Structure 1
Amino acid sequence: MTGEINNLGPQAPAGPSMRSSATGELLRLLQPQQALLAPGETAKAEVLALRQVGQDFQLLLKLTQENGKQINVQASSNLALPQGSLLAVSQSSASNLSISLQQVLASSVASLTRLDTRETPVGSLLQGKVVTSQMLPQAAGQVAQYRSLVSLLGPQAGTTLTLDSPRPLAVGSLLSARVLGDQSLQFVPLSGRQDQLAITQQLGTQQSRQASLQGLLSALQQLRQDSNQNGEVRNSVDKLLASLPDARQLSDPKGLAQALNNSGAFLEAKLLGGLGQQLAPDFKAQVVRLVAQLLPGLPGTSTFNPAAAASTLAQVMPGMVRNALGMLGQVSPRPHPGSFPLPSRLLKSQDGEADLEHLLRLAAAAISRLQSHQLASLEQTGTTPEGNLQTTWQLEIPLRSGQDFIPLQFKLQREETPEQQNDPQREQRDPLEMRWRIELSFDLQPLGPLQVQAQISQGSLSSQLWAELPRTAQLIDSQLGNLRERLLARGLNVTELCCHHGTPPQGPRTRLEQRWVDETA
């Protein structure tokens, strides 16, 4: 079922409510009050809450009188006035408050009449609670239409939508809808969507807090050289930096698998699986442990208990540092949830901020970045429109290069058809029979920023590369023939291999709808 976002604001049904609006007696006090407002006095009223009871609507109003005194009153109305509506009211009797018809129509601005697809891209999901539902006036022979006010949840909390739909929406029910355009939504079943919506909301929160790993790693290098620092802390920093892989390790299949396993993307799975012995080299676990060691040095913190912290690694971050510092909700451009790669972002030390506070802020931002990758993996895992099962792993590995660190962003996707999923010999089949996609993003000096996209299926490979520096694009293009020969020698059928200057095209793309060209189609 689809619904239209009404661009006229809430309208009253025909009959008594429109007639009452013309007289101005719209609001009936649930508890009559004498002299609530002096004769001729006008007060500002804000709709704090709205609830539908049968065909009527109960409102909680905050009245602000001319002398500044405020009072909350309950009233009923034939009109659905959205939460947040601002009105000018006067008291016509002990039981009624009066507002003009013009005031009712002006209040419709509190209800969203059109979606901004820059904020809610086409394909994104919205969740809301149905506050009201009314049948619209209709001529004989016309299909019934219903108008509802829907209070949005999640990142859009506080926003009210006015929706028209061919079926009534149950008051108080939750609904989930996919954005089809600035004035249309498609309702989708809630089953299997609550978790997806929660992931999307958490992803937006983590991405607003994240920062690049280079800032933390550079700060740790400086801390390692600080002779005044606690010896246990310096030892943890030495282990963390020494555990980071280099290019030689990533060129070996086993070394690459180990680096992926220790990237932090699988920390929670290890904890749930009771694999505590595998936590030592895990990058995210090491950062969490380091934060727990640094916190006692922060003014105002209580004595640190190492044994207790070791048993609660999964709960230490990021809440503990956010509570200690209260400085992580920084304003920054927020990438679209699920976007790849995550943009570079460095945190600068704030005025009056101690070195330890800045280091802890860097550590919390780095963990938020790793969690952004994890949540993006979950967001892009599910069933494609064709019915195939797509599984996504997105992560980031800090690569050692001399004294510098090069963050390598990595996304791997596997797609299985229903036949492959139900095959009893699935575990014994060649993994390359499935469709695989890989995306890489890194900044390697002196080549500059590079991105790679590749797809392999049934032994055929297609790949595209993007280089932001023109000279790098020319260099790579001159070597593609040699790369093609090496791939053919490994038994792969290379269908496409090219390099472009610039970056891959970006735009509003929804989960599981980022489709590459299928050469076999």
Structure 2
Amino acid sequence: MVIINPSFATQPAAVNRPAGPAPVLAIDRVLTAVVIGQRAEHLYELASGNLKMMAESQTALRHGEKLLLQVTGKDQQQRPQLQILKPDTGLINEQLRSSLPQQQSVNQLIANLGKLINMPQQQQLAALGKEFIEAIASKPQASDPAGLRQAILQSGLFMESQLAKGDAPTRDLKRALLRLNQRLNQQLHNIEQAPKSDNSSKNASLAREYAPQTRIAPLLSEYSAAPSAENYPKNRDHSTNRTELPGQLSPQHRQTPTLSDADSNLEILRQLLRDVRGTLTRQESHQLLHLQQSDKTQYMIELPVRSNDGIDVWQLHFHKFDKTDSEQANPQQQSTKEEPQHNWTISLSFDLPELGPIRARITQNPELKILFNAGNSATTALITSKRHELEQTLAAQGVSTQSIECNNSPITIASSELLSQSLVETQA
């Protein structure tokens, strides 16, 4: 028996009630729990991982409600006392909203790095681009279960948590982005600090004046002064692309590079820095969405995958939910000890040049169901023809499924509920 949100008021519900064994919980420990039943007024049954316990709470609780609890002490009967914590997500939401104008998909950076590598006059910068591309997971690695798991752990979402544990992720994607950002910054600093002749300054002024109107405005850095208003293209659109919002599943196709052979070193550096910082901001947006959850049940990951003919971005959304969520909708189903403690929904979204946009949704609740949605009718026919092979491959891994479907329809944007909770202000 544990006590939730204890008060000094009289608690009639506790009179003549068997206390039961009290779990051993360390003071200040924080744990997540789910309400799986109510035995009597103010008396609830909770589950925290493999631990099940009875809880007396003067605060009304709902079946299936997820709680973030902290152990604050013990009462006179040595029963643990727990306080319900309400995570403050205001700061996280504010950071998410402020980062939206700066964030962008990694696709644009990849396109420009691919262009840079093939520019013979930019060998020094090309070496930096190659180093970053080598940190991207290869298609054979992402096609192997162990390799895909490693690529997800090195996607950048977990870099800080790994550092906190004392692990230094050598091939982490966010670490590679930070290293690339640092080196590009140093290159930009060296160019801007170099002495300039009068002719070079005139040429730079002419280049800005007659630059194509589709060029992006110069990037502000800690080494550069703020540009004047006339340096910005008049038709520059600062609005965020709706399909590039963090927390949204939308197949991302390969981008066209914005670099050109006529660009100067300064223009190339500024464009690359803009892409790197936009990619970093997007990664941090996904990290903020993850931190917003007290129970860490959802993960949104964008994973670039390198193949022989280019690099594509795989979007993965993992949603882990307790069995009590499904049992609430199907109370007649009784769980057994052999069944897993959690159910999963995994969504995969990508856009390949040969196949077009595809989204796959895998649900285990508790049976395994797979739903493919392809925007190309030829791709739909191809997946349907390979369905039997997929069933055999899953069976070889000990996984059986009776439901594999494939639909041909336009793929709409699937937004995570975390995104709407973060960006919509519910109070005036």
TM bucket, shorter chain = 0.5 to 0.7
Are 2:404 and 1:491 aligned? no
Provide the residue aligned with 2:381 in structure 1. Answer: 474
The structure that is helix-richer by fraction is 2
Q: What is the rounded CA distance, in whole Å, between the counterparts of 1:415 and 1:264 in structure 2?
A: 23
Q: What is the rounded CA distance, in whole Å, between the counterparts of 1:299 and 1:512 in structure 2?
A: 37
* Counterpart code for 1:215: Q
Q: What is the rounded CA distance, in whole Å, between the counterparts of 2:156 and 2:416 in structure 1?
A: 26
Of stretches 471-480 and 291-300 in structure 1, the one that deviates more from structure 2 is 291-300
Provide the residue aligned with 2:297 in structure 1. Answer: 391
Alignment of 1:18-417 (within 5 A): 192-195=86-89, 197-226=90-119, 229=122, 231=124, 234-276=126-168, 278=169, 280-298=170-188, 330-334=238-242, 338-341=247-250, 348=258, 354-379=267-292, 381-382=293-294, 391-417=297-323
SS in 2 for 1:394: strand
Q: 1:262 to 1:508 in 2, by over 3 A?
A: closer
**CA positional deviation for 1:457:** 4.1
Provide the residue aligned with 2:342 in structure 1. Answer: 434
* Counterpart code for 1:262: Q
Contact preservation (8 Å) 1:399, 1:408: yes
Contact preservation (8 Å) 2:157, 2:287: yes
SS in 1 for 2:161: helix
Contact preservation (8 Å) 1:209, 1:368: yes
Contact preservation (8 Å) 2:347, 2:359: yes
Q: What is the rounded CA distance, in whole Å, between the counterparts of 2:160 and 2:154 in structure 1?
A: 12
2:356 to 448, 465, 470: 448
**CA positional deviation for 1:357:** 0.8
Q: 1:254 to 1:507 in 2, by over 3 A?
A: closer
Q: 1:496 to 1:378 in 2, by over 3 A?
A: farther
Provide the residue aligned with 2:76 in structure 1. Answer: none
Q: What is the rounded CA distance, in whole Å, between the counterparts of 2:251 and 2:92 in structure 1?
A: 17
TM-score, L = length of structure 2? 0.57
* Counterpart code for 2:267: A
* Counterpart code for 2:131: K
* Counterpart code for 1:284: K
Provide the residue aligned with 2:48 in structure 1. Answer: none
Of stretches 286-295 and 217-226 in structure 1, the one that deviates more from structure 2 is 217-226
Contact preservation (8 Å) 2:253, 2:350: no
Q: What is the rounded CA distance, in whole Å, between the counterparts of 2:175 and 2:415 in structure 1?
A: 33
Q: 1:287 to 1:329 in 2, by over 3 A?
A: farther
Number of aligned positions between the proteins: 288
SS in 2 for 1:208: coil
Contact preservation (8 Å) 2:249, 2:414: no
Q: 1:337 to 1:416 in 2, by over 3 A?
A: same
Higher RCO, Cα 8 Å, sep 6+: 2
Is there any run of 5+ residues in structure 2 with no aligned partner, and where? 1-83, 194-218, 227-231, 326-336, 422-428
Q: Percent identity?
A: 25
Q: 1:485 to 1:271 in 2, by over 3 A?
A: closer
1:103-146 superposed Cα distances (whole Å, 9 cap, x missing partner): xxxxxxxxxxxxxxxxxxxxxxxxxxxxxxxxxxxxxxxxxxxx
**CA positional deviation for 1:246:** 1.9
TM-score, L = length of structure 1? 0.48
For the pair shown, which has the larger CA radius of gyration, 1 or 2?
1
Contact preservation (8 Å) 2:142, 2:151: yes
Contact preservation (8 Å) 1:390, 1:413: no
Q: What is the rounded CA distance, in whole Å, between the counterparts of 1:391 and 1:411 in structure 2?
A: 11
Contact preservation (8 Å) 2:103, 2:282: yes
Q: What is the rounded CA distance, in whole Å, between the counterparts of 1:339 and 1:218 in structure 2?
A: 21
Contact preservation (8 Å) 2:247, 2:418: yes
SS in 1 for 2:401: strand
1:203-232 superposed Cα distances (whole Å, 9 cap, x missing partner): 33333322232321232234345555575x
Is there any run of 5+ residues in structure 1 with no aligned partner, and where? 1-189, 304-319, 383-388, 420-428, 515-521
